[in-house]
Amino acid sequence: MTDASITAPKARALPKVKSSTIVMGLYLLFLMLPIYWLLNMSFKTNTEIVSTFTLWPTNPTLDNYRTILTDPAWYTGYINSLIYVVMNTVISLAVALPAAYAFSRYHFMGDKHLFFWLLTNRMAPPAVFALPFFQLYSSVGLFDTHIAVALAHCLFNVPLAVWILEGFMRGVPKEIDETAYIDGYSFGRFFAKIFMPLIASGIGVAAFFCFMFSWVELLLSRTLTTVDAKPIAAIMTRTQGAAGIDWGVLAAAGILTIVPGALVIYFVRNYIAKGFALGRV
Amino acid sequence: MEKTVNQKAWFLVLPVLVLVAFSAVIPLMTVVNYSVQDTFGNNQFFWAGLEWFKEMLRDDRMWDALGRQLMFSGIILLIQIPLGVFIALNMPKSGFWVSFCLVVMSLPLLIPWNVVGTIWQIFGRVDIGLLGHTLAAIGVDYNYTSDPFAAWVTIIVMDVWHWTSLVALLAYAGLKSIPDAYYQAAKIDQASRWAVFRYIELPKMMGVLMIAILLRFMDSFMIYTEPFVVTGGGPGSTTTMLSIDLVKMALGQFDLGPAAAFSIMYFLTILLISWVFYTVMTNLEKREG
C-alpha cells in the first residue's frame, strides 16, 4: 500500500493523492464522525433531535450550553473535576520525580521487584478497589472531598509517572550528574536547577498523562463522591433517566468534557508520540 | 547506562512507597480480609477460610464473565494491534499534517470514558444516531439493546475507535526512531515492501509494540465504564465483563465475601498475564541493549 512513501523516504510530502493519504483520511473520518455527531446534537433543541433527523442543526441554538454554564449543579461538576485532576497531577509528579531518579541512576536492594510492584498498581482493576476505597476514605473522614479522589487516582497515575519519567531520565547522560556534584552542587540544587530543565519535556508528558487518566476515570471518582466533589462525568450519568433524557444538554455536556483534553493535547502535540512510548524510544 | 549501587536511593523512593501503601496496600488488605471472613451484619465477622474462593470457583457466573472477558480482550488485541501498526505506517512523513494527525488521533483518548459510552450510545441509536439510522436506512436489522451480536459489535467498534490511536501513536514513535540509512540500505538491496516491514520496521517496533500490547491488554481486561454506559452489561448478561460483574456484586448486592474472593482472583489473573508480557518486554529491551 505504501510503496511510494517508503522506497523514497527522503521525498518531501508532495501534494499528490497517495494511498497513505486515503488510509489516514478514512481513519480520521472514522474518529471524527461520532464526535461530530455529538457536536451536531449539542446545537439542537431536544424536540429537534427527537422529531427530525438532520446531518446538521437546522436552527443552531446555544441554549444547551447556556443551561450548563448557568446552572451551578452542572458547572460545579467541571470545577470539581478540574480541582482533583490538578491535585492528582501535582501529587503524582512530586513523589514520582525523586523515585524515577533513583530507579534511573542507582541499583539498590530490591529495586527491580519494587519497580514491578509499582507497575502492578497500574494493573489493578479500579473495580477491585472501589469498595475498599469507599470504606477507607469514609473511615478517615475524607469521603466526598477532592483530595480523596486525587489520592485514589494516584493508584494508577504514580506508577505511570514513575515509568514515563524513568524512561526520559535514562536518556540523560550520567556525566552531567557527576560534573554537577564535582562543581559543588547539592543534590537538591542540582535536581531543581540542572536536571529538571533537562527532562522538562518528560515532566510535561508525565503531567499530561496524569491529567488524562485522572480526567477520564469515572468508577473511582463516582464511588468516592456524593455532592461536594462530584465530577462532571458522574453528574452526566445522573441526568439520564427520570423524565426522559435531554439529549441536547447531554451532548453539550459531553462536548465540554472534550475541551480540556483537546487544549492540553495541543500543548504537548510534539511530544505525544514519545510520551505514549513512555519515553522509551 | 551503568548504574551505581547506592542503598540511600531508598530515601528517594520512600514518598512513593508511603503513598502507594496508603492507596493500594491498605485497601488490598481489606479485600483479603473480606475474602476469608463471613458476616451476619452488625460488623461481626468470623473466619470462613477459603469457602468464598471455593464457592466462586464453582460459580458459573464468574466463569462466564471470564470467558466473555477473554474473548473481548482477544478480539480487541487482534484488531487494534495490526490496525494500529497499519495506521502508523500510513502517517504523513513530515510537516503540518503530522501534528494535525497526532492531535486528532489523540482526541478520543482524552474523552472521559462515560462520555465515550454516551457518544456511542447516541451514535448507534436507530432513532437519533447517525450509525443506527444509516444502518436501518440500508436495511440492516441493528439494535444493540436487544440483539447480543449487535451489542458486541457496538462495544468492539467503540473500543477500536477509542484506543486504536494509542497503538498507532506507539508504533509511530517506534518507526520515527529508525534512521534513514536503514531504508537507503534496503533500497540498494532492492528489498520488497514486505521485507522492509518484516526485517527493519517490525523488529525496531517490537519494544514499543510490547508496551502497546501490555497497556491494551490491561485496560481492556479492566474495562468497565464504556460497555456499562452503552449496554449496561446486557442484553441479558451477554456483555457483562468481569469489572461490571464485580461492581454489581460488591456495590450493588454488597456480597462482600464472594466479591472480595472474586477481586483477588481477578487481580491475580491480570497480574499473571501482565507479568508474562513484562518479562518478555524487559528481555527484548536487554537484547537490544
- CA-closest candidate to residue B249, choices B237, A227, B230, B220: B237
pLDDT of residue B161: 94
Same structural domain, A38 and A118: no
Examine the pLDDT at A4 and tell me if it is beyond 60: no
* Residue position matching grid coordinates 519535556: A201
Q: Under 8 Å CB-to-CB from B243, ≥6 apart: which residues?
A: A125, A126, A127, A219, B222, B223, B224
The pLDDT of A97-114, averaged and rounded, is 88
Q: Which three cell numbers stand for residue B190?
A: 532492492
Cα dihedral sign, B106-B271-A126-A115: negative
Task: Look up the domain containing A218 and give its range.
Answer: 67-276
- Taking the C-alpha atoms of residue B224 and residue B45, their distance in angstroms, rounded to an integer, is 30
Neighbours of A263 (CB within 10 A): 10
pLDDT of residue B42: 60
Residues 224-263 on A with a CB inside 8 Å of B are 232-233, 236-237, 247, 250-251, 254, 257-258, 260-262
Examine the pLDDT at A86 and tell me if it is beyond 90: yes
Indicate the number of domains in chain A: 2
The residue that leads in pLDDT, B94 or B168, is B168
Same structural domain, A71 and A37: no
> A221-243 pLDDT, tens per residue?
888 888 888 888 778 766 555 55
pLDDT of residue B85: 94
List chain B residues with CB under 8 Å of A11: 93
| Minimum distance, in Å, between the CA of residue A105 and any CA atom of chain B | 5
In A, minimum Cα distance to B194 occurs at: A3
- Taking the C-alpha atoms of residue B84 and residue A71, their distance in angstroms, rounded to an integer, is 41
What one-letter code names the amino acid at A160? L
Q: Which three cell numbers stand for residue B75?
A: 478480539
Q: Which three cell numbers stand for residue A248?
A: 441536547
List chain A residues with CB under 8 Å of B174: 277, 281
pLDDT of residue B100: 86
Nearest to A126 among B94, B193, B224 (CB): B224
Residues found in chain B: 289
Of A99-103, A213-217, B56-60, give the lowest mean pLDDT range: B56-60
Is B182 exposed, middle or buried, given 0-12, 13-18 or 19+ CB atoms closer than 10 A?
Answer: middle
The pLDDT of B183-190, averaged and rounded, is 90
Examine the pLDDT at A200 and tell me if it is beyond 80: yes
List chain A residues with CB under 8 Å of B270: 123-125
| Minimum distance, in Å, between the CA of residue B275 and any CA atom of chain A | 9
Distances (CA, A) of B207 to A228, A277, B182, B242: 44, 9, 18, 29
Backbone angles phi, psi at A195, to 5 degrees: -75, -50
Same structural domain, A234 and A178: yes
Examine the pLDDT at A65 and tell me if it is beyond 80: yes
Helix (H) or strand (E) holding A226: none
The pLDDT of A244-268, averaged and rounded, is 84
Yes or no, beta carbons of A273 and B111 under 8 Å apart: no
Same structural domain, A159 and A110: yes
Q: Under 8 Å CB-to-CB from A193, ≥6 apart: which residues?
A: A185
Same structural domain, A76 and A10: no
In B, minimum Cα distance to A132 occurs at: B27
> B256-282 pLDDT, tens per residue?
788 888 888 888 888 888 888 878 877
Residue from B8, B12, B103, B219 to probe the interface with A (highest A Cβ count within 10 Å): B12
Same structural domain, A31 and A133: no
CATH topology of domain B60-288: MetI-like fold (1.10.3720)
Q: Under 8 Å CB-to-CB from A219, ≥6 apart: which residues?
A: A126, A127, A130, B224, B225, B243, B247
Q: What is the mean pLDDT of chain A?
A: 83
Q: pLDDT grade, residue A95 (50/70/90)?
A: very high
Q: pLDDT grade, residue B162 (50/70/90)?
A: very high
The ipTM, to two decimals, is 0.84
In B, minimum Cα distance to A133 occurs at: B27
What percentage of chain A has pLDDT greater than the value 90? 16
Q: pLDDT grade, residue A3 (50/70/90)?
A: very low
Residues 112-131 on B with a CB inside 8 Å of A are 112-115, 118-120, 122-123, 127-131
Examine the pLDDT at B74 and tell me if it is beyond 50: yes
**Helices B26-35 and B256-288: crossing angle, nearest 10°?**
130
Q: Looking at the domain assignment, is residue A151 inside a domain?
A: yes
Same structural domain, A75 and A124: yes
pLDDT of residue B224: 87
Examine the pLDDT at A80 and tell me if it is beyond 80: yes
Nearest to A13 among B93, B256, B275 (CB): B93
- Taking the C-alpha atoms of residue A122 and residue B279, their distance in angstroms, rounded to an integer, is 16
* Residue position matching grid coordinates 512513593: B16
| Per-position DSSP letters for B255-284, written without gaps between them | -HHHHHHHHHHHHHHHHHHHHHHHHHHHHH
Examine the pLDDT at A9 and tell me if it is beyond 60: no
Yes or no, beta carbons of A24 and B207 under 8 Å apart: no
Same structural domain, A242 and A120: yes
Q: pLDDT grade, residue A12 (50/70/90)?
A: low
Same structural domain, A120 and A233: yes
Residues found in chain A: 281
Q: pLDDT grade, residue B8 (50/70/90)?
A: confident
| Minimum distance, in Å, between the CA of residue B269 and any CA atom of chain A | 10
Q: pLDDT grade, residue A273 (50/70/90)?
A: low
pLDDT of residue A1: 43
Decide: A211 and A202 in contact? Cβ < 8 Å. Answer: no
- Taking the C-alpha atoms of residue B77 and residue A111, their distance in angstroms, rounded to an integer, is 31
Decide: A102 and B9 in contact? Cβ < 8 Å. Answer: yes
| Minimum distance, in Å, between the CA of residue A99 and any CA atom of chain B | 4
Yes or no, beta carbons of A136 and B30 under 8 Å apart: yes
Same structural domain, A71 and A153: yes
> B39-69 pLDDT, tens per residue?
666 666 777 777 778 877 888 888 888 899 9
The domain that holds A162 is classified in CATH as 1.10.3720.10
Decide: B112 and A233 in contact? Cβ < 8 Å. Answer: yes
| Per-position DSSP letters for A6-51, written without gaps between them | HHSTT----SS--HHHHHHHHHHHHHHHHHHHHHHHHTS-HHHHHH
Same structural domain, A118 and A218: yes
